[in-house]
Structure 1
Amino acid sequence: MYKTFYSLAQAPFSKEIASSDAFLSTDYQGAISALHYLQKSKGMGLLIGDPGVGKTFTLRSFKESLNPSLYHVIYFPLSTGGVMDFYRGLVYGLGEEPKFRKVDLFRQIQQGIERMAFERKITPVFILDEMHMAKDAFLQDIALLFNFQMDSTNPYILVLSGLPHLKTRLMLNHHRPLSQRMIMKYEIQPLTKVEVSNYINHHLKLAGAKMPIFTESAIEAITLRSQGWPRVINTLTVNSLLFGSQLKKEQIDEEIVRLAVEDSGLA
Structure 2
Amino acid sequence: MYLQHFGLRHAPLGKELTEPWDDGTLAHLTERFNWLLSSPGVGLLTGEPGVGKTAALRNITKSLNPHRYLVLYQAETDFGRVDIYRGLARALGIEPNYRRAQLWRDIKQRIHELVDTKQTTPLWIIDEAQNLPPEFFRDLPAFLNFAFDSRDLISVWLVGHPALAQTLERAPYAALASRIQVRVELKPVVQRERFAKLIAHAFKSAGATGTLLSDSGLEIVRQASKGLPRNAGTILCTAMRLAVPKGLNHLPDEILQLAIEELQ
TM-score (norm. length: structure 2): 0.93
One-letter amino acid of the counterpart of residue 219, structure 1: L
SS at match of 1:127: strand
Aligned 1:1-267 pairs, distance under 5 A:
1-18=1-18, 21-79=19-77, 81-191=79-189, 192-265=191-264
Name structure 1 gaps, 5 residues minimum.
none
CA RMSD of aligned residues (A): 1.7
Q: In 2, Cα distance between the equivalents of 1:201 and 1:88?
A: 43
Residue-by-residue CA offset, 1:100-140 (whole Å, 9 max, x unaligned)? 10000111111111111112111011111111111211111
One-letter amino acid of the counterpart of residue 208, structure 2: A
* Contact 2:78–2:132 (Cα < 8 Å) also in 1: no
- Give the Å deviation of 1:149: 2.1
One-letter amino acid of the counterpart of residue 67, structure 2: S
- Give the Å deviation of 1:81: 4.4
SS at match of 1:99: coil
Query: Alignment length, in residue pairs?
Result: 263
Residue identity (%): 32
Q: In 2, Cα distance between the equivalents of 1:127 and 1:10?
A: 27
* Contact 1:215–1:251 (Cα < 8 Å) also in 2: no
Residue-by-residue CA offset, 1:64-111 (whole Å, 9 max, x unaligned)? 121100011111113374432221121122222221100001111111
Q: In 2, Cα distance between the equivalents of 1:123 and 1:230?
A: 32
SS at match of 2:104: helix
The 10-residue stretch of structure 1 (163-172 or 195-204) with the greater mean CA deviation from structure 2: 195-204
- Give the Å deviation of 1:256: 1.6
Q: In 2, Cα distance between the equivalents of 1:242 and 1:121?
A: 49
One-letter amino acid of the counterpart of residue 194, structure 2: E
One-letter amino acid of the counterpart of residue 128, structure 1: I
Q: In 2, Cα distance between the equivalents of 1:16 and 1:8?
A: 12
The 10-residue stretch of structure 1 (113-122 or 3-12) with the greater mean CA deviation from structure 2: 3-12
* Contact 1:47–1:161 (Cα < 8 Å) also in 2: yes
One-letter amino acid of the counterpart of residue 163, structure 1: H
* Contact 1:27–1:189 (Cα < 8 Å) also in 2: no
Change in Cα spacing, 1:78 to 1:11, as seen in structure 2 (3 Å) is closer
* Superposition misfits of 4+ residues, deviation over 4 angstroms: none
* Contact 2:50–2:231 (Cα < 8 Å) also in 1: yes
- Give the Å deviation of 1:34: 1.8
One-letter amino acid of the counterpart of residue 45, structure 1: G
* Contact 1:217–1:253 (Cα < 8 Å) also in 2: no
- Give the Å deviation of 1:42: 1.4
One-letter amino acid of the counterpart of residue 194, structure 1: E
Change in Cα spacing, 1:168 to 1:263, as seen in structure 2 (3 Å) is same
The 10-residue stretch of structure 1 (7-16 or 33-42) with the greater mean CA deviation from structure 2: 7-16
The 10-residue stretch of structure 1 (136-145 or 246-255) with the greater mean CA deviation from structure 2: 246-255
Q: In 2, Cα distance between the equivalents of 1:11 and 1:159?
A: 28
Residue-by-residue CA offset, 1:181-227 (whole Å, 9 max, x unaligned)? 11001111111322221121112112221211111110011111111
Change in Cα spacing, 1:135 to 1:4, as seen in structure 2 (3 Å) is closer
Q: In 2, Cα distance between the equivalents of 1:170 and 1:7?
A: 46
TM-score (norm. length: structure 1): 0.92
